[in-house]
């Protein structure tokens, strides 16, 4: 995986015309509040969202490709890469990435929610990834930070200057009220210009929320030309 990431970075650096437009890093919550059934819904929902017609169309809306990575997180020392940096430059590459995620096994299931540490891990993974025009971390979670430093400290102590952090809030989690969780994501997790969140009403709704979020992140921005002012006739 490390060799593949090095080759990817070298190819991108050697061919500026083909430089990726977005480095997209998806962070999956595998803390103890996520039971085995919910984890299957999360993992399967991500695979289904990535391979949906709408998301595939967004991936390939323009020629410049997207670099995709996925990792799991829970406790302060518990982050594991599910999909190392992969250049999504064809439907076959996207399908292979989805198959890697589908075949993955949960790394941890007994640790708390250390979201600040998870974000720090994401920042470091982006730093060693390919050079892209934009960098985004998708932080999915069903609870607030309850171990180690939180997101706001992570943003102060790690390099997030060029990184946008979006959120996928999974509601109906045990011990967490809807209002408190959404407010936590809004106040402490979302980061950078244009950051936004999608809300899944339970893990059964994960696929729909992830699909909507990916469509929004992957669809190239529409740039409208500003009409020039006409000079007054002399």
At 161-214, the pLDDT tens digits run: 999 999 999 986 554 456 788 999 999 999 999 999 999 999 999 999 999 999
- Rounded CA gap, 189 and 199, in Å? 14
Residue 110: band (very low, low, confident or very high) from pLDDT cuts 50, 70, 90: confident
φ/ψ (deg, to 5) at 223 = -100, 120
pLDDT at 3 over 80: no
DSSP one-letter code for 178: H
pLDDT more than 90, % of the chain: 71
Beta-carbon contacts of 167 under 8 Å, excluding residues fewer than 6 positions away, are 138, 139, 140, 141, 185, 189, 190, 195, 196, 197, 198
Gap between the Cα atoms of 195 and 163, Å rounded: 10
Angle between helices 36-50 and 91-103 (to 10 degrees): 170
Question: Of 185, 176, 175, 177, whose CA–CA distance to 209 is shortest?
Answer: 185
* Neighbour tally for 11: CB within 10 Å: 15
In this structure, the dihedral spanned by the alpha carbons of residues 54, 31, 79 and 188, taken in order and rounded to 10 degrees, is 70
* Selected residue with higher pLDDT from 225 and 144: 144
Listed range (72-81, 119-128, 145-154, 172-181) with the worst mean pLDDT:
172-181
Q: Tell me 32's DSSP state.
A: T
Q: What is the dihedral of CA 20, 61, 194, 69, to 10 degrees?
A: -50
Phi, psi at residue 21, to the nearest 5°?
-90, -20
Separation between Cα atoms, residue 126 and residue 210, nearest integer Å: 21
Q: What size, in residues, is the chain?
A: 234
pLDDT of residue 108: 86
Indicate the pTM of the whole model.
0.84
- The pLDDT, as a whole number, for residue 230 is 41
Q: Encode pLDDT of 93-109 as tens digits.
A: 999 999 999 999 998 88
pLDDT band at 228 (very low <50, low <70, confident <90, very high): very low
Q: Is the pLDDT of residue 22 over 50?
A: yes
Cα(first)–Cα(last) distance of the chain, in Å?
Answer: 67
CA dist 136 and 24 (Å) reads 5
For the chain, the average pLDDT equals 86
């Amino acid at each position: 995986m490390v060799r593949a990431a090095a080759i990817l970075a070298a190819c991108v650096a050697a061919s500026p015309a083909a430089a990726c437009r977005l480095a997209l890093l998806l962070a999956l919550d595998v803390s103890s509040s996520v039971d085995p059934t919910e984890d299957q819904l999360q993992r399967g929902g991500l695979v289904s969202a990535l391979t949906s017609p709408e998301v595939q169309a967004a991936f390939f809306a323009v020629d410049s490709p997207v670099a995709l990575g996925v990792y799991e997180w829970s406790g302060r020392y518990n982050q594991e890469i599910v999909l190392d940096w992969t250049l999504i430059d064809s439907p076959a590459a996207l399908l292979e990435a989805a198959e890697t995620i589908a075949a993955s096994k949960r790394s941890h299931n007994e640790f708390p929610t250390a979201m600040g540490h998870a974000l720090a891990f994401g920042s470091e993974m982006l730093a060693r990834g390919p050079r892209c025009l934009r960098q985004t971390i998708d932080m999915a979670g069903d609870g607030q930070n309850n171990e180690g430093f939180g997101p706001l400290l992570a943003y102060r102590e790690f390099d997030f200057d060029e990184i946008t952090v979006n959120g996928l809030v999974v509601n109906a989690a045990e011990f967490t009220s809807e209002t408190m969780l959404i407010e936590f994501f809004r106040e402490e997790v979302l980061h950078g210009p244009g950051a936004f969140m999608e809300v899944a009403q339970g893990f059964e709704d994960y696929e729909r929320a992830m699909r909507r979020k990916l469509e929004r992140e992957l669809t190239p921005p529409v740039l409208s030309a500003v009409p020039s002012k006409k000079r007054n006739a002399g």
